[in-house]
Structure 1
Amino acid sequence: MKLGQLIALLKEYPAEASVLLEGDAGYSPLGGLSLIRNEGGLPDELIFHPDMTPD
């Protein structure tokens, strides 16, 4: 999925909805994003990071 596709899809959902990441241990809230700039013709990558704050 490309970032433009993700943005278009997210526009269909309520702005106040929480963003959760699904993993082996259940769900984690989204804690942040990182942009990885690639070279050599490779596309840049957007990395989603879970919120690691203890419950």
Structure 2
Amino acid sequence: MNVQQLIKALRELPPGATVLLEGDAGYSPLGGISLQEGEGGMPDEVILLPDMTPD
């Protein structure tokens, strides 16, 4: 999935919904977004970061 596809999918969802990341330990709220610039001809990558605030 690329950024354009992600934005399109998100537009179809309720704007007030919480974004969660699914992982081995369960679900974590989305805490941030990071851009990893591609090198050597590799494409840029967007990394979704979990919220690391203690419960």
Q: Same fold (TM over 0.5)?
A: yes
The answer for the alignment partner of 1:15 in structure 2 is 15
Deviates more, 1:11-20 or 1:35-44: 35-44
Deviation at 1:46?
A: 0.2
Counting aligned pairs with the same residue, the percent is: 67
Aligned residues: 55
The answer for the alignment partner of 1:29 in structure 2 is 29
Instruction: Report the RMSD for the aligned CA atoms in angstroms.
Output: 0.7
Unmatched runs of 5 consecutive residues or more in structure 1: none
* Counterpart residue type for residue 49 of structure 1: L
1:6 equivalenced with 2:15 (yes/no):
no
Alignment TM-score, normalising by the size of structure 1: 0.94
Deviates more, 1:37-46 or 1:3-12: 37-46
CA distance in structure 1 between the aligned counterparts of 2:25 and 2:36, rounded to whole angstroms = 26
